Every structure is written in structure tokens, then in C-alpha cells.
Structure 1
Amino acid sequence: MEQDPFSLYPHFPAKLYSSAMLDSLEIIHLAWIVGHFARWAIVDDRVVVLSLCRD
């Protein structure tokens, strides 16, 4: 993957990822959830992921 353009902005915790998903689902436990995030599809094969945690 190319360099993440959001790495230049340390106070904006977004990251660029591939939009590919697994074919199988995983069951998770409520206790595993530690935060929320926003996902924005910018092109067919890339998404921007932004943590919404207030650490």
C-alpha cells in the first residue's frame, strides 16, 4: 500500500486502509469493544478510518 497521507497530521487520527473485507464473520463479545470509528470509502479499494475515541 502507498504511504498513508494522514500520517502528516498527528492531531487528526485518521488512517488509510484497503477496503477489502473477509468472507467470514467473527462473533465478538461486548467486553471486547473499546471504542467506535467512522469509515469513509474514498475510492473503490481504499477507505479512511477515523477513531472516535476521546483518549
Structure 2
Amino acid sequence: MTAVAITFLILALVLVWGGLIVSALALRSRPEVERYPAGGIDDHREDDAPIVHDT
């Protein structure tokens, strides 16, 4: 492998694994949504209707 290929391999690994680690730490610090946007209340309408199949 050339030096350019190794450099891009290391860069790609840092981006992928670094993003995974950063996102895991962000989820660890705030695991739940503090506030939902307006209209985000579940009214369970789909629970009352019968199941419709396309067959």
C-alpha cells in the first residue's frame, strides 16, 4: 500500500469510529428527549381501525 492509501485508510477509520464514539457519548449524556415538538402526542388512532391488507 502506498502512503496516500494508508493516510486515507487512517482518516476513514478515525471518521467512522470517532463518529460512533462521539454519538455514543452524546446519547449517554442525554438519553431521553426533554421536550417534544408541538403535535407530538400519540392519539392511538391506528389502534382502533381494523387491519387492511392489499391482497
Would you call these one fold, judging by a TM-score over 0.5? no
Question: Which structure is higher in RCO with an 8 Å CA cutoff and minimum separation 6?
Answer: 1
TM-score bucket of the superposed structures, by smaller chain: under 0.3
TM-score by length of 1: 0.22
Q: Which has the higher strand share?
A: 1
Larger Rg: 2
TM-score by length of 2: 0.22
